[in-house]
Amino acid sequence: MSSETPTGVGGDQGPDVGEVVRFEVVEHGDGAVVVHVHGEIDTMTAPVLSARLAERIGSASLLVVDLTRVTFLGSAGLAALVEGKEKAENAGSRLRLVCGSHAVTRALEATNLMSLFDVADGVPEALRTA
């Protein structure tokens, strides 16, 4: 099952960030969920990332965050990923990252956070090693 969700579009959902970041959630068998992130993760969009991850943590034994289409990952986005990892661990789930983009890899390496995460080279590998 797949659902593509533009974020923050009108209403009471906060600032309009729908043109900056999008999420596509794909549920796989055995409790695995992949959250594909497209766009920029910055101060405005990081809370939306946190919310999307939190929505899935309780129902997924493995949460794969596909960041291959992320064009910018700022400190707020890094904090959202760390928070997601901690929440997943507290819930008895695993969070696995697929970096894929230079922007993501560079941000994680520059902050020495790469070793904190379980990282896979691609979504198929992330699911295969579940």
Q: Are strands 32-41 and 21-27 parallel, antiparallel or unpaired?
A: antiparallel
Q: Confidence band (pLDDT; 50, 70, 90) for 75?
A: very high
pTM of the model: 0.84
Check the CA dihedral 62-81-52-24 and report its sign: negative
Query: Looking at residue 124, what is its pLDDT?
Result: 95
Q: How confident is the model at residue 130 (pLDDT cuts 50, 70, 90)?
A: low
What is residue 27's three-state secondary structure? strand
Nearest to 35 by CA among 95, 120, 80: 95
* H runs (alpha helix) in 1-130: 46-57, 75-90, 102-110, 123-128
**pLDDT score recorded for residue 103:** 93
CB of 23 closer than 8 Å to CB of 35? yes
pLDDT in tens, 16-43: 555 789 999 999 988 999 999 999 999 9
Burial 6-22 (b: 16+ CB within 10 A, else e): ebbeeeeeeeebbebbb
